[in-house]
Structure 1
């Protein structure tokens, strides 16, 4: 008996990029995430667009999943987040700042900044509130009627949430969860296109490669995160015991923590000048 082939859904990196290259599909997905915004006809779409400070090679760059501009000059970034790394706030802050730097040239006034929409399509609820859609703006802490008009909006779509009656948003949720869409329309067309991709052997190979790449990147990120935590543990010991020798510090850390850094790495951190 043949083993049933795995279904690669909307959140697969290769499928998501392919679907979002279609201007009509792309506009429908963005519009579903922004029901109160009139998304003007899509003008340009960049997949895996890399942003970063060109003059400073040491700065962390950002690769946007899908960067879109419409004919009104608004800038949209649509990101798929499959794994919850518990960093959604700082991550969105950095993506937003990178978008802003990319749209404003030296000497231009701040009023030239494009209106931006940062949309995260999440396979998890980062806040545990059960909402399908979270929308963020800047307000005065004491008077919510005072809004800081910075022309930026951050949106999170939680595929596990509920509480909306908007048909397009619910269809987007079904798309994210690989649930069958029954009603004829653009989202049904998208799902049909995804099935066609799954039925194409060459496409399946690309999707499998994209999935493996994502798993590898996630594993590397987790490893780097653990190593950074361990380095911080050594730095904390150094700060609390500034008079301890390197040998004493090494012995204490190995005996009392689960730090798995090599002896040479621990010694190097303990020997660093403050």
Structure 2
């Protein structure tokens, strides 16, 4: 009996990029995320567009999943977020600022900034409130009728949420969750196209590679997070000893740390000693 093949859905990086480069599919997905916006004809779709290195080589670059421009100059960035790294607020802030820097040249007035829509399609609920769609604008803290109209809107679609969304938004949710879409229409076409990709051996190889790449990125991020936590642990030890035992030696701090941390501690002995040396001064 043949082993059942794994189904690669809309959240797979390769599939997501391929689907979104179809302008009609792309428009339907953006429109579903922005039910109150009239999304006009799509002019261009750029997959994996790199931003952040245009004028400052020292700045952190980012790669937009899908950068879209419509016929009237509005810009859309659609990002697929499969894993919750608990950084969605700062991440959206940086993506938004990178989009703005990339579209405004030196000497141009700020009023020349394009209207932007930053859309994060999340396979998790970043706020734990159960909403299907989160929409963010800038308002005065005391009087919500006062809006800072900066022509930027941040949208999060939570595929695990619930709510009385319109049909297209609910179909987008089904698409993200690999749930069957019954009704005919563009979202049914998208799901049919995804099945065609799954049935194509060459496409499956690309999807498998994308999945492995994602797993490696997750592993790297996990290791980096572990190192940050362990660095903070060492600094906390040093800070405590500086306050309680001002005359303690570096060797004594090192010994105390080694006695306290477990075998899974991610920092080497040399790295621990260097952090102690830098912070015990």
CA distance in 2: counterparts of 1:126 and 1:235, whole angstroms: 29
Deviations 1:131-152 (A, max 9, x none): 1100000001100000000111
Please state if 1:126 is matched with 2:126. yes
User: TM-score, normalised on structure 1?
Assistant: 0.96
Deviations 1:202-223 (A, max 9, x none): 0000000000000000110111
Aligned to 2:22: 22
Please state if 1:236 is matched with 2:219. no
- The answer to whether the Cα contact below 8 Å between 2:132 and 2:165 also exists between their aligned partners in 1 is no
Aligned to 1:261: 267
Gaps of 5+ in 2: none
Aligned to 1:251: 255
Instruction: Give the deviation of 1:129 after TM superposition.
Output: 1.1
CA distance in 1: counterparts of 2:80 and 2:266, whole angstroms: 32
Instruction: Give the deviation of 1:29 after TM superposition.
Output: 0.2
Q: Secondary structure at the match of 2:121?
A: strand
Greater shift, 237-246 or 88-97, is seen at 237-246
CA distance in 1: counterparts of 2:78 and 2:266, whole angstroms: 37
Aligned to 1:196: 196
Aligned to 2:103: 103
**Root-mean-square deviation (Å):** 1.3
Aligned to 2:12: 12
Q: Secondary structure at the match of 1:157?
A: strand
- The answer to whether the Cα contact below 8 Å between 2:51 and 2:98 also exists between their aligned partners in 1 is yes
Q: Secondary structure at the match of 1:134?
A: strand
1:1-274 superposed matches below 5 A: 1-242=1-242, 243=246, 244-258=248-262, 259-272=265-278
Distance 1:204 1:261, change over 3 A: same
- The answer to whether the Cα contact below 8 Å between 2:132 and 2:157 also exists between their aligned partners in 1 is yes
Give the 4+ runs in structure 1 shifted more than 6 A.
none
CA distance in 2: counterparts of 1:171 and 1:12, whole angstroms: 17
CA distance in 2: counterparts of 1:253 and 1:103, whole angstroms: 49
Instruction: Give the deviation of 1:164 after TM superposition.
Output: 2.0
Distance 1:156 1:263, change over 3 A: same
Instruction: Give the deviation of 1:232 after TM superposition.
Output: 1.7
Query: Number of paired residues?
Result: 274
Q: Secondary structure at the match of 1:121?
A: strand
Gaps of 5+ in 1: none
Instruction: Give the deviation of 1:85 after TM superposition.
Output: 1.2
Instruction: Give the deviation of 1:110 after TM superposition.
Output: 1.1
